[in-house]
Structure 1
Amino acid sequence: MSQPTPPGRNPWNPETDPPPKNTKDDKLVDRWTRYFRLYTGVGVTSAERETLRNEVAQRWDYKDWLKCEEQRDHLMRNSPIIRFLLDELEKSGCAFSREHLKCLPCDATRSGGFSPKQGVQICYNRLISKGHMEDTIAHELIHAYDHCKFKMDLRNCYHHACTEIRAASLSGDCRFLREVRRGHLSFVKQHQVCVRRRATLALKANPNCNAPGVAEEAVNKVFQSCFTDTRPFDEIY
């Protein structure tokens, strides 16, 4: 049975090259010898070193993608918040399957994304743990819920601000320890401060809302009504 090929970026040619072998099939000494040559340049030409560099990149890119696929499937089966949001989406007429949650490579600006046409993007090269993935998927599924339930127009800065406020607040993205790991510590309304900051940053990445002051104004305008709207939850998760 052939192994799957990750979408978005194919560091090997699936038509002519097999996917990278599982490390269990490699000879340990040979593998570490090749890695030593890669990082030191001992005994290799520039062209050979570039070939080795690509080989290592291919191996780890494939492993990260495969790990993302496995963790996503596990969370869809076992995470209470992910299962709850998937159930609520189905009740709202917007059922999501694993094909709607895609593991794809991303740039350094984000760990996930949502598009009404493409579904949820899980950035396998930007996630640091299964907990981070869980929060990221929950965040994006809240965007999906808002789009399904309220027909958001993400070109509208107020609509976008509202869903970013809700997603940051309800997904676990602004938990105390996560904020501390980011280097943000406040003893007064830390959750609200985090939600405002995260929502504003997200809006500034929207070309329709990145003019000076626009993101801040939109977040301030809708903050109270959107922050207190915890649907589909009874309270902040």
Structure 2
Amino acid sequence: MDSKPETTAMDNSSNDSANDIKDMKKFERWRKSLQYITGLGMSDGERKEFRNQVDMEASGWQCQQCESWRDTLMKNSPNVRFMLDNLKKVGCAMTKEDFKCMPCDETRSGGFSPQDGILLCQNRFFSKSHQEDTMVHEMIHMYDNCRFKVDWSNCKHHACSEVRAASLSGDCKWTREVRRGFYTFTKQHQACVKRRAILSVKQNPACADEGCAERAVASVFESCFADTRPYDEIY
């Protein structure tokens, strides 16, 4: 009959030491957090160092989550898979390497570049659903770029793609609008699409003149809002 090895006093001592070290690290982290919040007992240099450490830790965690969600959505999201299939059909097959998770400023949650692919703003997503909508939004830009050869320096071209992306991606669904503080029920979707498209076109240096983005979106809205390709309709 097999007998289990006895736990020695040395084993117990090693475990106790490891636990003590962990507890000391937790206490030290708590102490520094309290000093940072209160401003007591920490120099400006120490505050900056602690803030940088926290930011680095958060950035690493955010990147891991963004990449994990990206991989899961590419496998399991019907909307993402639909766009992947249709991008492949127009000669622009995508892999996970085409979606780059990086930190961004507060003005965006994603971006598209014909040269660099799709940017996913790892520090801007409040849920997996938000990241899913962002991925689809940017994939619609890629679809337009591949199929229609968009001239992104042309404000009307850019406006058309922004109208389509805002309308088809889920970016303007009612729950997202409520989160932004918009509660209108009559033609809320159209109002959101126009507003979001204008905000995006304004970031284009070629369309930065006063009123340029508004005029561009207004001139293409009716035809581009009605163009739901590759979808059969707006979902």
TM-score by length of 2: 0.86
Q: Deviations over 1:79-121 (max 9, x none)?
A: 1101110111111110111110000111111110000000000
Alignment-mate amino acid for residue 126 of structure 1: R
Report the RMSD for the aligned CA atoms in angstroms.
1.7
Q: Deviations over 1:177-217 (max 9, x none)?
A: 11111111222211111111111111111111121222111
* Partner residue, 1:8: none
Specify the alignment match of 2:69 in structure 1: 71
Unmatched runs of 5 consecutive residues or more in structure 1: 1-23
Q: Is 2:209 aligned against 1:211?
A: yes
Alpha-carbon distance in 2 for matches of 1:26, 1:112: 40
Q: What letter matches 1:84 in structure 2?
A: F
Q: Secondary structure at the match of 2:205?
A: coil
Q: Return the alpha-carbon distance in structure 2 between the equivalents of residues 26 and 143 of structure 1.
A: 50
The AA in structure 2 aligned to 1:180 is V
Q: What is the aligned partner in structure 2 of residue 173 from structure 1?
A: 171
Mapped to 1, the partners of 2:24 and 2:73 lie a distance apart of 30
Structure-1 separation of matches of 2:38 and 2:90: 56
User: 1:96 is matched with which residue?
Assistant: 94
Cα separation, 2, equivalents of 1:213 and 1:60: 39
Q: Partner letter of residue 57 of structure 2?
A: R
Task: Single out whichever of 78-87 and 55-64 deviates more from structure 2.
Answer: 55-64
Report SS of the residue matched to 1:208: helix
Pick the aligned partner of 1:49 from 47, 50, 54: 47
Unaligned runs of 5+ in 2: 1-21
Higher helix share: 2
Q: CA deviation at 1:46?
A: 3.0
Provide the C-alpha distance between the structure 1 equivalents of 2:118 and 2:24, rounded to a whole number of angstroms. Answer: 35
Q: 1:187 aligns with which of 176, 185, 198?
A: 185
- Residues 59 and 103 in structure 2, CA contact (< 8 A), matched pair in contact too: no
Q: Hey, what's the Cα distance between the residues in 2 that align with 1:31 and 1:217? A: 53
Residues 37-94 of structure 1 show CA distances to partners (whole Å, capped at 9, x for unaligned) of 3323443333233222222221112111111111111111111101110111111110
What is the 5 A alignment of 1:28-43? 28-43=26-41
User: Partner letter of residue 185 of structure 1?
Assistant: Y
Q: Which moved more, 1:41-50 or 1:163-172?
A: 41-50
Worse-matched range after superposition: 35-44 or 161-170: 35-44
Alignment partner, residue 152 of structure 1 = 150
Within 2, Cα distance between the matches of 1:161 and 1:44? 50
Residue type of the alignment partner of 2:89:
K
TM-score by length of 1: 0.85
Matched AA of 2:109:
S
| C-alpha distance in 1 between matches for 2:48 and 2:205 | 37
Secondary structure of the 1:179 match is helix
Query: What is the number of equivalent residue pairs in this alignment?
Result: 214
Write the letter of the residue equivalent to 1:192: Q
